[in-house]
Structures are given as C-alpha cells and as structure tokens.
Amino acid sequence: MSKKNIKILAIETSCDETAAAVILGNGKNNLKILSNIVASQIDLHRITHGIVPEVASRAHVEKIIPVIQESLLKSRIKLKDIDLFAVTIGPGLVGSLLVGIDIVRALAYASDKPVISVNHVEAHIYANFVDVSQKFPAIVLVVSGGHTQLILMRGHGNYKVLGSTIDDAAGEAFDKVAKILGLPYPGGPSISEEASKKQKVKSRSIKFPRPMIDTDDFDFSFSGLKTAVLYKVRELTSNRKSPLNRDLITAIAYEFQNAIVDVLVTKTTKAARKYKTKTIMLGGGVAANKLLRSELKKRVKKEVPNSKFYIPAPKFCTDNAAVVGANTFYKYSHDKKFLKNWKKVGLNLNPKL
C-alpha cells in the first residue's frame, strides 16, 4: 500500500477510557484528526475510588462498538475506506487491552487490511506531534497513572529511556494522596483543584520532601512523598476526633503538588541541558496538570533558553486514540519497510519503546 492519503482507524482501551479516532495522514509530516471520541469510565471507578480491572474490561466491551461507530460517523469515513487499523497493545490492564485488540483484529481481518500494534507510552509521546512536527533531539517527560519516564528522542522511533520511577508513577502518587485526603478519583484533577484554593485560605505552611531531586541519574521516586503525606495527616489528626478540616486538606494538596512538580521539572530541565536538546515535550495524563505546564514553561525559558518547549492540549495528554493514530502515521510515513514488516509479523503483542 503506497498512498498519498492514508486513513487510519485507531483504538485505545488500555486503562479506563474507551477511545477511537480516525486520522488522515498526508506526505511525511501532515496529519489531520477527523474524529477523536473518548468514553470515560471515571464515574464508574469513582465509586470504588480506583479501577477494578474486571469492571473496566466489561465497560470497554459495552462501549467499544458505539465509540467506533461514532468516530467513523463524525469523520465521514466509511469502514471500508480505512487503510490501516491501529491499537494500543500495552502496557496497560490486560483485560482492558484485549477488548481493543480483539475488535481491531476482527475489523482488519474482515476488511483485509493491516493492523498495527502501538506501545502506550509511545502513543503518549505522539501527543506532541498531533498538530506540529518537532525538532530533534528532544526530551520527553511522560507522566501518567502507570508511567513516569524521561526519554531522549533522537528521531521518529528512536528512543533512549534516561530514567523512570523506581516505585510509584506520578499519576499514581496523585491518586493515592487524593485518597488519603478524601478527595475524589481521579486524584490528579481533584488535587489540582483543591490546591488552587490555597490563595483563598489562610493556613499553616506545610513542607514535603522532594525525593531524588539532586541525584545524578534521571530516575524518580514518589512512594516516600506519598508516605510523608500519610504521616502528616496522621500527625494532624492524632489528637482530635474529627478528620482534617478543609484548610488543612487544601494546604497539603498545595504542598504535595508543589513537591511533585518541582521534582519533575528539575529533572526534565537537567536532562535537556545535558543532552542539548532542541525541544522539550510533555505527555501522559499528569501533563494535563496546570502547575506542571506553567512551571515547566517558566523554568525552560530561564534554564534552557535555547530549547523550544511544547505542551500538547490536555485532551491529547490523557488517554485517547488520536495519539495512537498519530504514532501509527509517523511510523508509516518515516519507515518505508514498515508495512511490509507488519504484514510479515502480524500483530506484535510485545513492541518495545
């Protein structure tokens, strides 16, 4: 298949969003998102204050066909005109991933078209390529519910993972701290909202550690920070019968967010200086965080002024299928042998980043 225009139907079901998107690719670097539909399971998982994998899988089964239908309808592209199918194959919840994988295999089989496997972390990186093409080398900070990675990207498909979390992911820390504070799931947006009230309330100042901020490597650790929050809450509630009052919750959320953002930004700018990168990019659900976005922007300007800085729109940071399609288009347009190889191997269930 060698076409000027390529139409891709992309599916994402790795965690708790059932998503489908139709992408129109043109030439080497031009792509247009014709539709990007996301059915969120947040209301379902709020009841249990976190994801119950079987509940997530069942919700994907229920939503996947209507979501695909809506994405095709909105794009005005017919299923028979899709050239390429793409699906997230991991990392993620196995029962959730299999729903997307199986439907895409069936669609591709019935239409005799190739199906491409996409790595979830790589798809998060491609949020940065949805409406622009970036200069390399680039540093990408991927921060989601399951991942925290600093990646050096020297070209399309060319990655070196500089560092990762050694325990909890950044989003996981937001979610767990929110639970400790009695804030609703998902923790990221609720902590961010709570922290924004700090200016309005007068409360004592609380300090939390910045784990591994000064180490020479690019690894992260957030489990100690989460424990520091837990101990602080215990200390503040030990002599009273009543739970934390609102001002204290706000103060803790504010300082926790400051600590985590400080670590993420410090390590990202340090990596950008070390590797003299031309671009700094962000991806993953935590990249939707307002403080992270504004702090990174501020400090890149000050500390790495020669580097360009790009932040994707929040809707492309959290899980969605448009970035799965964007990733697939760039693989297709930058690697002549790509489709040939894919036809040979079929669906690769273990592609590495």
- The residue among 53 and 155 lying less far from ligand KG4, judged by its C-beta, is 53
Q: Is residue 163 part of the contact set for ligand KG4 (CB under 6 A)?
A: no
- The residue among 123 and 228 lying less far from ligand KG4, judged by its C-beta, is 123
Residue of 290, 315, 310, 40 whose CA lies nearest to 188:
290
DSSP 117-141: EEEHHHHHHGGGGSS----SSEEEE
Q: Is residue 100 part of the contact set for ligand KG4 (CB under 6 A)?
A: no
Q: Which of 12, 168, 172, 319 binds Zn ion (CB under 5 A)?
A: 319
Residue 189 interacting entry, from ligand KG4, Zn ion, none, C-beta within 5 to 8 Å by type: ligand KG4
CA–CA dist 247, 45 (Å, integer): 27
Give the side-chain half-sphere CA count within 13 A for 118: 36
- Confirm if 173 and 226 have CB atoms less than 8 A apart: yes
Residue 220 interacting entry, from Zn ion, ligand KG4, none, C-beta within 5 to 8 Å by type: none
In angstroms, what is the minimal distance from the CB of 33 to Zn ion? 18
Considering only residues 84 through 103, tell me which ones interact with Zn ion, judged by CB under 5 A.
Answer: none
258 Cβ partners below 8 Å, 6+ apart? 195, 208, 291
Classified as helix, coil or strand, 12 is strand
CA of residue 270 relative to chain centroid, distance: 22
Q: Is residue 175 part of the contact set for ligand KG4 (CB under 6 A)?
A: yes
Stretch that binds ligand KG4, among 63-71, 72-80, 185-193, 334-342 (CB under 6 A): 185-193
Stretch that binds ligand KG4, among 38-46, 64-72, 74-82, 188-196 (CB under 6 A): 188-196
Q: Which of 13, 144, 149, 307 binds Zn ion (CB under 5 A)?
A: 144
Q: Would you state the torsion angle of the CA atoms of residues 8, 102, 284, 339, taken in this order, to the nearest 10 degrees?
A: -40
Q: Footprint of Zn ion on this chain (CB under 5 A)?
A: 144, 319
Q: Footprint of ligand KG4 on this chain (CB under 6 A)?
A: 15, 144-146, 171, 174-175, 186-189, 192, 284-286, 288-289, 318-319
